[in-house]
Amino acid sequence: MPGLWSAPPFSVPKSIKMQTLRHEPLMLLTKEPIEQSNINTTILTHPLIRYDSNAWGGQIALQYLHDNDLSPDLLCNLDALDAIYIMVEKGMGVSLVPAWAGLKSGEVFATPVSDSDDYIRQLVLLYKSIPRRPKALDAIKEILKRTAL
């Protein structure tokens, strides 16, 4: 049966097809609004609630830190995006996370870190190249096209 995943950082086998459904750019979550030009300074002057680098989206955030030679003070590692949001909302720190479908506006501000495709998480549909139930797969694809992920 097909599944929704973050695009893996490796090539999938030929027996598996991958269809991109959503692009989620890397954002800096902050309690107060900031200018995009102040992102790196903000990361260095606030505790970082790090999106766990064992998650593929967390690897993108870690890559941004490495690419920009940033070594912020680490508050904690979490792999739960909603928990990260709550901690930022409470003013405990800032975080680099993808703009996931459940990201809400309100008490937290999300600033895109870059226009580069290097810092985008892709949500993909993975399925067998030769599906056992092609009509069911077509129905799933059609529903996903009409759904705001």
Higher pLDDT, 47 or 137: 47
Between the CA of residue 56 and those of 61, 63, 84, 86, what are the distances in Å? 9, 11, 16, 21
Domains annotated for the chain, with CATH where assigned, are 3-146 (3.40.190.290)
Distance CA 95, CA 82 (A): 12
Q: What integer is the mean pLDDT of 21-25?
A: 90
SS3 23: strand
Model pLDDT for residues 99-115, shown as the tens digit of each residue: 988 888 788 999 999 98
pTM of the model: 0.84
Contact 92, 67 (CB under 8 A): no
- Give residue 143's pLDDT: 82
**pLDDT tier for residue 148 given thresholds of 50, 70 and 90:** low
